[in-house]
């Protein structure tokens, strides 16, 4: 299975390629969850940072990482640092790394969304028996040597990101506000978002 944690920034792209046999979708942000409640649809809220914290506590030895940047606390034999590429389909270093992962391995993808979600779809097509987690920036904020996990699961973990990555976080907040307003004023987008929230319940 592929575990996705979309927010307002990338929910549409992930929903467009949703496969109920392959994908498990959680609402990554309190704002998505709250808007769903306003529309009388209760989705499943479980954030990427919260999942990262659970994996770090309970299953770290089984985790294998595909990362946009190096994290020193992760052993060399359980990570691959990805170059800047638009597409990794057929990329030999990734395929070699993927085939080296034992069947019980948990694959953590730590690049930007929705790129990481499409990438996980490809990885799943190669090794569907593995479990995948699209965690993005939550990987660095959880496994980095200076990681802070005090706010994990509280719905306010964005405050951590504001401290560690202020420019990126402000940009995402602006996109979130614009997308939320677009959903509210667009009947078509509103209908689509309701369907999206509903699949997080399954």
Domain ranges, ordered by start, for the chain = 2-199
pTM exceeds 0.85? yes
Specify the pLDDT at position 156: 63
Distance CA 201, CA 43 (A): 5
Q: What is the mean pLDDT of residues 44-68?
A: 92
pLDDT digits (tens, 9 = 90+) for 1-40: 999 999 998 999 999 999 999 999 999 888 888 899 988 8
Helix axes 166-185, 30-38, angle to 10 degrees: 10
Specify the pLDDT at position 49: 86
Distance CA 196, CA 199 (A): 6
Residue of 62, 155, 162, 50 lying closest to 108 (CA atoms): 62
pLDDT digits (tens, 9 = 90+) for 119-177: 999 999 999 999 999 999 889 888 886 655 566 555 566 676 677 777 877 777 888 88
């Amino acid at each position: 299975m592929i575990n996705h944690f979309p927010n307002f920034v990338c929910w549409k792209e992930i929903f467009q390629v949703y496969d109920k046999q392959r994908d498990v979708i959680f609402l990554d942000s309190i704002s998505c969850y709250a808007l769903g409640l306003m529309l009388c649809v209760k989705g499943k809220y479980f954030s990427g940072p919260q999942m990262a914290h659970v994996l770090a506590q309970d299953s770290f030895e089984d985790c294998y990482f595909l990362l946009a940047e190096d994290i020193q606390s992760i052993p060399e034999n359980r990570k691959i640092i990805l170059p800047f590429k638009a597409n990794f389909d057929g990329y030999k270093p990734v395929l070699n790394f993927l085939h080296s992962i034992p069947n019980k391995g948990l694959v953590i993808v730590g690049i930007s969304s929705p790129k990481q979600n499409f990438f996980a779809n490809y990885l799943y097509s190669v090794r569907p028996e593995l479990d995948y987690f699209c965690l993005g920036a939550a990987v660095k904020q959880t496994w980095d040597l200076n990681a802070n996990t005090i706010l994990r699961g509280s719905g306010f973990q964005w405050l951590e990101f504001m401290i560690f990555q202020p420019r990126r976080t402000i940009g995402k907040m602006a996109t979130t506000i614009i997308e939320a307003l677009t959903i509210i004023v667009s009947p078509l987008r509103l209908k689509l978002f309701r369907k999206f929230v509903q699949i997080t319940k399954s």
